[in-house]
């Protein structure tokens, strides 16, 4: 392996360091330390060594990236473009070492240089460029795309500040800014030469051109420049290396200082500041209206840059515009990038002078849309006045798309005015709004949900009329997660046991884990399985002690719920159960019950008061339970602060029980459920999202099921749900709610949790009380099952064995075959 940049510097590096190096990689690290970092070994900090190592790994990837790009430039190669406002890629060093198959080499080189690889891995800041599931899914898909050797580009925004860091003070969530770029990002390649202008505001003018065609000119009030910042995405054990291209906003440098008087100069600088704020910060979900204009501007900004970039590549290939949809498939990751439908039309019509019909045909063949939510309040809409003032020309195009589309609807459903209103891209029921899901659906040739149940419900609810009109457009692609990061990297000891037991074919074909089933009853294998899980729990216990001061027993059942905090995910149902268990132990101190450690993690949107109150409640319970000596350590409650990808690495492999307890019909898929399953946790869950398929795969006997079905939820709500009646009819539930109301978990403060208790008793929109009794009964079955360690281990093994379906490799294969018609392209570094 030759490191392109390193070679010239080797001698210099060795001379400067006064060391004799033993490997080319060691040379590379030294030369990066000296020539890129401008440090010499004697004074270099850990951070310097981390950077030097990262740059050396990056150099290897860039050699593969160059080989890949060269091949992708061919006319007949189709590229999958994944458009997403979020990419939650997690720490990169460990994953890149894994995918390059060079961890041992790097460990040895760093050891020779006097450094411990694990300590260097630990100091990496993760790019938190996403909120949760949707952003992490995009990252898993990039890993699978590269591993499956699919030419692909991830397109998004280079937020300077990603998702906030979470601290817990006095039991409350406190947000602090994410400073992931403070020490520099060694994985990023900024490309000032790949940049595009994006227009905002202003007005449009129509004119007839020389050929007698009507042309529209958008005279923007302001333009912003987008600059490409690339991060290499290396496939596992292949030479394919794709990129994640994130756009950073900059001011256009068109003004000439000479021409300005002082006033204009300051205005110009101010303009620069405004332009640069565009890619400043990621919006948390569930944020209320405020600041929305910037959010729409962000979406249009990254979408326009990405589409212009695709057109640039098309031109570079020398292909004609009518081939566009054969060169690119563009996936809309939820509606966040769906303004792309209007923007591609604009680029094709206004800038490439295509006819409407030709442009529309290309647009629809290019886009496909993935929906990630059924919650009506989460469906994206934009008020017309805002849209009009920010994006006047795209709005005109949306009107025209709508006019033509509604004509089709009327033709197909004569006289059905209600249907026309429902399907319109413009909601006219109150303040007029653009409905982004309708725009994405109409502008795409394929629409998919993210789990079987979700895709079904999608067709029955939010997109019903569209599914009736275009049934062939609707399909399901159940989500998946990458086994590289979430098994090989974070549970390497288990991965080695798997290699030893069933061979390493599972690493690129997770379905082969099925072969584990034959070992589920083998006591020696079970012992090895348990020993590894025990070690993982001990490692997590150490981190818990470190971050919270709480001592937990690795022998206890680790019962874990980590995900964004949201009422529909029902962390408070879990909390109510914990209180009822605690009360049982208080009433009966000798109760023979399995020791449990309840672990929570997750961020609440800063503006979501109820979610923040749930965090406070969990911490209030933890304070009481953890300090109650009479429990003799049989129960512990932990809120693990700042749950993110990095912390997830320690959490998933240490779970015995995975809590997937959302109200049926509300969680589109869930992906944490899959991460737990792959690592051998058992699931307690409702029939929601991908839980349904997890249970099908694992077998009903290896899954703890409880709760109302989506249909029952619907019926109960229709019949008039009265939550207070459930409290009346259940002593444990009433008692638990009373305890909260009485201030037991708020140091006597009876007001603190009033909004939560009142909401549950009076509204309970997510049927927490209706599902409580069945949840408790199910938890009792869990405790019972835990008593039989062999049986539990068997179930744990069976869960891993049957988790093959939930690999993102399977999901990406489905996208490639059924939606994108993209094919693997073999890259060979040696041949390039």
- 450, 611, 638, 677: which one contacts ligand 26Q (CB under 6 A)? 450
- 287, 326, 514, 774: which one contacts ligand 26Q (CB under 6 A)? 287
Q: Among residues 763, 804, 76, which one has the least CA distance to residue 481?
A: 804
Q: How far is CA 164 from CA 34, 448, 604, in A?
A: 34, 30, 10
Backbone angles phi, psi at 604, to 5 degrees: -105, 140
Helix (H, G, I), strand (E, B), or coil: what is residue 142? helix
Instruction: Please give the residues from 371 up to 410 whose contact with ligand 26Q meets the rule CB under 6 A.
Output: 372-373, 380
Check: CB of residue 167 under 8 Å from CB of residue 132. Answer: no
- Per DSSP, helices labelled H in 518-565 are 523-548
- Which lies closer to ligand 26Q via its Cβ, residue 37 or residue 808? 808
Smallest gap from Cβ 336 to ligand 26Q, in A, equals 6
> How would you classify the pairing of strands 557-562 and 596-601?
parallel
Contact track, ligand 26Q, 409-448, x by CB under 6 A: ----------------------------------------
Instruction: Please give the residues from 38 up to 97 whose contact with ligand 26Q meets the rule CB under 6 A.
Output: none
Instruction: Please give the residues from 641 up to 670 whose contact with ligand 26Q meets the rule CB under 6 A.
Output: 667-670
Contact range with ligand 26Q by CB under 6 A, out of 108-116, 132-140, 571-579, 745-753: 132-140
- 5, 95, 99, 131: which one contacts ligand 26Q (CB under 6 A)? 131
Q: Does the protein bind ligand 26Q through residue 597 (CB under 6 A)?
A: no
- Which lies closer to ligand 26Q via its Cβ, residue 653 or residue 689? 689
- Element counts in the chain: helices (H) and strands (E): 33, 22
Residue 19, classified by CB atoms within 10 Å of its CB into exposed (0-12), middle (13-18) or buried (19+), is middle
- Which lies closer to ligand 26Q via its Cβ, residue 249 or residue 669? 669
Q: Among residues 386, 408, 400, 278, which one has the least CA distance to residue 341?
A: 400
- 295, 435, 533, 596: which one contacts ligand 26Q (CB under 6 A)? 295
- Which lies closer to ligand 26Q via its Cβ, residue 548 or residue 660? 660
Backbone dihedral region of 503: left (phi > 0), alpha (psi from -120 to 50 degrees) or beta? left
Contact range with ligand 26Q by CB under 6 A, out of 75-83, 96-104, 283-291, 578-586: 283-291
Supply the residues annotated as catalytic.
372, 563-564, 569, 671, 675
Smallest gap from Cβ 137 to ligand 26Q, in A, equals 4
Q: How far is CA 442 from CA 24, 124, 289, 438, 661, in A?
A: 54, 42, 26, 6, 34
- Which lies closer to ligand 26Q via its Cβ, residue 51 or residue 139? 139
What's the first-to-final CA gap in the chain, in angstroms?
A: 13
- 71, 134, 148, 423: which one contacts ligand 26Q (CB under 6 A)? 134
In sequence order, the 6+-apart residues with CB closer than 8 A to the CB of 272 are 251
Contact range with ligand 26Q by CB under 6 A, out of 128-136, 422-430, 468-476, 719-727: 128-136
- Which lies closer to ligand 26Q via its Cβ, residue 455 or residue 671? 671
Alpha carbon distance 781, 810 (integer Å): 33
- As a whole number of Å, the CA-based R_g of the chain is 28
- 55, 218, 247, 283: which one contacts ligand 26Q (CB under 6 A)? 283
Smallest gap from Cβ 288 to ligand 26Q, in A, equals 10
Alpha carbon distance 619, 553 (integer Å): 19
Contact range with ligand 26Q by CB under 6 A, out of 131-139, 229-237, 526-534, 787-795: 131-139
Contact track, ligand 26Q, 671-710, x by CB under 6 A: x-----------------x---------------------
Crossing angle for the helix pair 356-366 and 392-412, nearest 10 degrees?
90
Q: Does the protein bind ligand 26Q through residue 132 (CB under 6 A)?
A: yes
Q: Does the protein bind ligand 26Q through residue 811 (CB under 6 A)?
A: no
Alpha carbon distance 772, 493 (integer Å): 37
Alpha carbon distance 56, 58 (integer Å): 5
Check: CB of residue 150 under 8 Å from CB of residue 80. Answer: yes
- 144, 147, 306, 479: which one contacts ligand 26Q (CB under 6 A)? 479
Smallest gap from Cβ 180 to ligand 26Q, in A, equals 18
- Which lies closer to ligand 26Q via its Cβ, residue 295 or residue 802? 295
Instruction: Please give the residues from 323 up to 382 whose contact with ligand 26Q meets the rule CB under 6 A.
Output: 372-373, 380
Residue 501, classified by CB atoms within 10 Å of its CB into exposed (0-12), middle (13-18) or buried (19+), is middle
Q: Does the protein bind ligand 26Q through residue 133 (CB under 6 A)?
A: yes
- Which lies closer to ligand 26Q via its Cβ, residue 306 or residue 808? 808
Backbone angles phi, psi at 158, to 5 degrees: -90, 85
Smallest gap from Cβ 91 to ligand 26Q, in A, equals 20
3-state helix, strand, coil in the chain (%, to 5): 55, 15, 30
Q: How far is CA 293 from CA 91, 204, 333, 507, in A?
A: 31, 20, 20, 44
Smallest gap from Cβ 689 to ligand 26Q, in A, equals 5
Smallest gap from Cβ 374 to ligand 26Q, in A, equals 10
- Which lies closer to ligand 26Q via its Cβ, residue 234 or residue 479? 479
Contact range with ligand 26Q by CB under 6 A, out of 125-133, 524-532, 636-644, 696-704: 125-133
Smallest gap from Cβ 808 to ligand 26Q, in A, equals 11
Q: Does the protein bind ligand 26Q through residue 285 (CB under 6 A)?
A: yes
- Which lies closer to ligand 26Q via its Cβ, residue 373 or residue 799? 373
Q: Among residues 587, 580, 789, 569, which one has the least CA distance to residue 658?
A: 569
- Which lies closer to ligand 26Q via its Cβ, residue 126 or residue 667? 667
Smallest gap from Cβ 221 to ligand 26Q, in A, equals 24
Smallest gap from Cβ 175 to ligand 26Q, in A, equals 15
Total number of residues that touch ligand 26Q (CB under 6 A): 20
How many of the other CB atoms lie within 10 Å of CB of 765? 14
Contact range with ligand 26Q by CB under 6 A, out of 171-179, 282-290, 626-634, 735-743: 282-290
* Secondary structure letter of residue 631 according to DSSP: G
How many of the other CB atoms lie within 10 Å of CB of 784? 10
Check: CB of residue 707 under 8 Å from CB of residue 686. Answer: yes
Smallest gap from Cβ 301 to ligand 26Q, in A, equals 15
- Which lies closer to ligand 26Q via its Cβ, residue 138 or residue 347? 138
Q: Does the protein bind ligand 26Q through residue 638 (CB under 6 A)?
A: no
Smallest gap from Cβ 133 to ligand 26Q, in A, equals 3
Lookup: tokens for 77: 């190669």
Alpha carbon distance 20, 54 (integer Å): 21
Alpha carbon distance 89, 645 (integer Å): 8
Provide the edge-to-edge strand list for the sheet that holds 426-427: 381-383, 433-435, 426-427
Q: Does the protein bind ligand 26Q through residue 602 (CB under 6 A)?
A: no
How many of the other CB atoms lie within 10 Å of CB of 633? 15
Residues comprising the chain, all counted: 832
Q: Which residue has the tokens 């884990």?
A: 513
- Which lies closer to ligand 26Q via its Cβ, residue 132 or residue 235? 132
Smallest gap from Cβ 337 to ligand 26Q, in A, equals 11
Name the residue whose CB lies closest to ligand 26Q. Answer: 133
Backbone dihedral region of 708: left (phi > 0), alpha (psi from -120 to 50 degrees) or beta? beta
| Site residues, ligand 26Q (CB under 6 A) | 131-134, 137, 283, 285, 287, 295, 372-373, 380, 450, 479, 667-671, 689
């Amino acid at each position: 392996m030759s490191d392109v940049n390193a070679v010239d510097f080797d001698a210099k590096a060795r001379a400067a360091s006064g060391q004799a190096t033993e490997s080319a990689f060691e040379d590379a690290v030294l030369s990066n330390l000296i020539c890129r970092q401008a440090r010499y070994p004697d004074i270099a900090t850990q951070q310097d060594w981390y950077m030097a190592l990262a740059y050396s790994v990056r150099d290897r990837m860039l050699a593969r990236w160059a080989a890949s790009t060269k091949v992708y430039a061919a006319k007949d190669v189709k590229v999958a473009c994944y458009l997403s406002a979020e990419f939650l890629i997690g720490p990169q060093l460990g994953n890149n070492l894994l995918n390059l198959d060079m961890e041992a080499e790097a460990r040895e080189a760093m050891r020779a240089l006097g450094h411990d690889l694990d300590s260097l891995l630990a100091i990496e800041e993760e790019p938190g460029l996403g909120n949760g599931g949707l952003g992490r899914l995009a990252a898993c898909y990039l890993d699978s795309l590269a591993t499956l050797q699919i030419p692909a580009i991830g397109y998004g925004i280079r937020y300077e500040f990603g998702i906030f860091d979470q601290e817990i003070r006095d039991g409350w969530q406190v947000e602090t800014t994410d400073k992931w770029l403070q020490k520099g990002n060694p994985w990023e390649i900024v490309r000032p030469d790949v940049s595009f202008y994006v227009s905002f505001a202003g007005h449009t003018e129509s004119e007839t051109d020389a050929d007698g065609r009507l042309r529209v000119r958008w005279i923007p009030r302001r333009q912003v420049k987008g600059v490409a910042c690339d991060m290499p995405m290396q496939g596992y054990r292949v030479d394919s290396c794709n990129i994640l291209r994130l756009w950073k906003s900059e001011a256009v440098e068109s003004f000439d200082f000479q021409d300005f008087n002082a006033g204009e100069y300051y205005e110009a600088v101010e303009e620069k500041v405004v332009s640069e704020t565009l890619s400043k910060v990621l919006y948390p979900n569930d944020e209320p209206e405020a600041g929305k204009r910037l959010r729409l501007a962000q979406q249009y900004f990254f979408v326009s840059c990405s589409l212009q970039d695709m057109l640039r590549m098309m031109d570079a290939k020398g292909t004609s515009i009518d081939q566009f949809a054969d060169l690119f498939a563009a996936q809309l990751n939820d509606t966040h990038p769906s303004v792309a439908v209007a923007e591609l039309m604009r680029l094709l019509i206004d800038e490439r002078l295509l006819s409407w019909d030709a442009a529309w045909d290309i647009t629809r063949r290019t886009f496909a849309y993935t929906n990630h939510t059924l919650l009506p309040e989460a469906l994206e809409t934009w008020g017309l006045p805002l849209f009009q003032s920010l994006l006047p020309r795209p709005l005109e195009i949306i009107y025209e798309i709508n006019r033509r589309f509604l004509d089709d609807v009327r033709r197909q459903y004569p006289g059905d005015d209600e249907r026309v209103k429902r399907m319109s891209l413009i909601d006219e029921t109150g303040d007029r709004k653009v409905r982004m899901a309708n725009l994405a659906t109409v502008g795409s040739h394929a629409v998919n949900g993210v789990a079987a149940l979700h895709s079904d419900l999608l067709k029955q609810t939010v997109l019903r009329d569209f599914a009736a009109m275009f049934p062939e457009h609707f399909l399901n692609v159940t989500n998946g997660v990458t086994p590289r990061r979430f098994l090989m990297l974070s549970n390497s000891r288990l991965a080695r046991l798997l290699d030893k037991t069933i061979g390493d074919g599972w690493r690129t074909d997770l379905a082969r884990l099925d072969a584990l089933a034959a070992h589920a009853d083998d006591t020696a294998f079970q012992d090895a399985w348990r020993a590894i899980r025990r070690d993982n729990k001990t490692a997590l216990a150490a981190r818990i002690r470190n971050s919270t001061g709480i001592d937990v027993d690795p022998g206890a059942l680790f019962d874990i719920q980590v995900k964004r905090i949201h009422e529909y995910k029902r962390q408070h149902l879990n909390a109510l159960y914990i209180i009822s268990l605690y009360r049982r132990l208080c009433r009966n101190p000798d109760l023979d019950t399995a020791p449990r450690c309840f672990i929570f993690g997750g961020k609440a949107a800063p503006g979501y008061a109820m979610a923040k109150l749930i965090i406070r409640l969990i911490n209030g319970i933890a304070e009481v339970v953890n300090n109650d000596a009479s429990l003799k350590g049989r129960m512990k409650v932990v809120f693990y602060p700042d749950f993110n990808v990095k912390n997830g690495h320690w959490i998933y492999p240490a779970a015995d029980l995975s809590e997937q307890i959302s109200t049926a019909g509300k969680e589109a898929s869930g992906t944490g459920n899959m991460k737990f399953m792959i690592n051998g946790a058992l699931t307690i869950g409702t029939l929601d999202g991908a839980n349904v398929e997890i249970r099908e795969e694992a077998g009903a006997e290896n899954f703890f099921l409880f709760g109302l079905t989506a249909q029952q939820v619907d019926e109960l709500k229709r019949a008039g749900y009265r939550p207070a009646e459930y409290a009346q009819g259940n002593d444990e539930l009433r008692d638990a709610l009373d305890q909260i109301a009485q201030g037991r978990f708020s140091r006597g403060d009876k007001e603190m949790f009033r909004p939560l208790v009142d909401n549950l008793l009076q509204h309970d929109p997510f049927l927490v009380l209706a599902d409580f009794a069945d949840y408790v009964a199910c938890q009792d079955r869990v405790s019972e099952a835990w008593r039989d360690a062999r049986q539990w281990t068997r179930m744990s093994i069976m869960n891993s064995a049957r988790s093959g379906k939930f690999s993102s490799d399977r999901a990406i294969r489905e996208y490639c075959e059924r939606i994108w018609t993209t094919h693997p392209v073999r890259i060979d570094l040696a041949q390039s």
